[in-house]
Structure 1
């Protein structure tokens, strides 16, 4: 039987499509009734839909930062020296990469792939000298101080490590993008969002699916021109609430194709069979490709017919996205690279691009006291132990200061936090901020981790260095106002 002859139509698959996209009112109401408590939600308007790289993630502050990032729906990547030792410390949602800031050859572009910000909690390891008390609490609480020794070289970790990390960050960090769908690390909400919409809805017999395999989504199937059909696609359910991308320039796809031409369709109305805005793009066989789709280049279409009277695409109210393999181009023209049969498109990510960078790209946890060794205006005998024995610790504070300066000169949007003595106490007190490196006191590791996450969203935190400690009273401060009042470097 020829391809163009009538073939039997699959009513069951047609109904399954309508049901999946909640287009059959009765069944849709039943689904919502039974699944409302368990169904994952997807809010692409959230500012936390970003990939954050955490270095020093196995330390006291680093582990807390990772945990809080996951709680707020960030994608998290960590850099560790030993993957096997690190695995038990992290949720399986955390991407673990083996490397060392002191070894620049281990800091590849993969480390920063899709990353919008770095939180560096790296620090020189300090431990009691042999024979000293094993009770580390007296140090971590900032009350007493054991006789210490450094395990690593402060020069390599605090200074050269920062130099290596900022160099790779400058090249590859992508704070101007917003990660919408990360198919290499899909959440349950993403898995529940995408489904097939084939020409079965028009009487055709083409068939496709989207599935997750080996850190990517695979859109594949078989396109048939029987029954006057000729398209297969996968589409997201309507986003609720619709996503606002008005501060971006377009959509970026990271794909690997089969040499065929595909369409990307995006809708700024919630109707199922309404107007979509389309962009055709070519792929190269078995070759990874980045496709950038400017919003200004999107074509308004209705069932492959252009409708220019609909005007330009409105990125402030996006309801759904769709990928399509089709024989139809626009207004009766045919896809010049179409052939019926099997197809395969791998998708790693869908992002928005072109946002003006105005928030911190790099947050560094440094230390109060970094400027004090050698200062003539202070009495070293009145200073904390770490300042008094800086030389015995390999100049750890001196090298931290040099590392800070590397970050300041990097050209990145940065924030440098200088915490006072770190404790294990709950982070429920008011934070106090100063500049000039004269502050004394203590601050909870929990409070510093919380502060890092808040700073990620604050434009007023950029290019600022400050010390922080706690006051012994409940936290009632307005953080935005406190950070805004600080001076830039």
Structure 2
């Protein structure tokens, strides 16, 4: 049998760890421990998916907007005239002005944060009561209702759609690389993000720390098996909202080891 080692437990360091990571233990519950290790369900409900709808004021578009809202999605409507769009869609829809036939109007304000796109430009449905024409023209005293799109279908259905695809692909397809943590530039925000999480929270006596120097972060410490412990680690505080790395294929780390095995948990 393996002899069990015992050592004095540091209650002060235990409380400092909980305070740093913003965790409050409840008697008779392990939810605080799950929260500390990042495995509990979020207390704050995730924000619904944001969907961009182009052609939102047309016959199909406004029906799509309504159905998305009924299903709990957030909607950003790409419109030419925000004032007129408010009259059609109401005040509960985020509006952004732009024109898919004019690529310079499809700015990052249009695409920032979206997770999907529905294009309703150029589509037509049988008009029903309550439909509002997008443009009015008079010819020899007779009023004509003109569709929202321009008169040449090629401009909207080919060039316009291509403009929209090129604008949103930068948001939906995260090409290249993204730096998550740059320890070569140890900012105050970075120092307040990382902290030690050792087996002190479970009665152990292991102890570690992370120190940010001029151009690197140094993780150092001692691991002890006393009091049935046996791990030392550093981690970030929980992010709210969480980091979204869905558009990337993996993580790349630049580290210098000491011959021991280390584990990265995401």
TM-score normalized by the length of structure 2? 0.47
